[in-house]
Amino acid sequence: MPILKQKLTFKKKERLSSKILIDDLFEKGKKFKTYPFIATYLSENSNESDWDSQVRVVITVPKRKVKFANKRNRVRRQIKEAYRLNKPEFYSQLEAKNTNLALFLIYIGKEKEDYNFIDKKIKLLLTDLVKQL
């Protein structure tokens, strides 16, 4: 078993909760779609920003797509877990580009997707995001 250099966590400082930054994200940010996600992102040069974390993320599952709260929470947990496990490679690629990122993920898929599907799509989304930067 390989030894991990960093813990794979998803801490509070990595979550985007600033109303001002979320509004800026939708006004000035760029959008792209990778089924089952719509990603809106806003990048900054890391020298100019005073962020605690390199990437700040919001994950939403609309009530219109997934009706029941327990199923929405399950999908949200699966997305967070997939992001958490794929985060180190994504961070290293962003560090090479010297950028900070605000990311808003909206889930638009079906409620019956399994974890392997979501994990594969998160990997694809993160690689597409790095290519667009």
pLDDT per position as a tens digit, 35-94: 999 999 998 876 655 667 788 999 999 999 999 999 999 999 999 999 999 998 998 888
Q: Is the pLDDT of residue 133 over 90?
A: no
CA 67/CA 12 separation, integer angstroms: 27
Residue 86 CB coordination number (10 Å): 17
| Alpha carbons 68 and 70: distance in angstroms, whole number | 6
pLDDT score of 1 more than 60:
no
Per-residue pLDDT band at 3 (split at 50, 70, 90): very low
User: What does the pLDDT read at residue 50?
Assistant: 65
Residues in the chain: 133
Query: CA angle at residue 96 from 3 to 34, to 5 degrees?
Result: 90
**For the chain, which domains are there?**
13-132 (3.30.230.10)
Residues 6+ apart with CB under 8 A from 99: 43, 44, 45, 46, 133
Question: pLDDT per residue over 111-126, tens digit each?
Answer: 888 999 999 999 999 9
Nearest to 107 by CA among 56, 10, 34: 34
The answer, yes or no, to whether residue 23 has pLDDT greater than 60, is yes
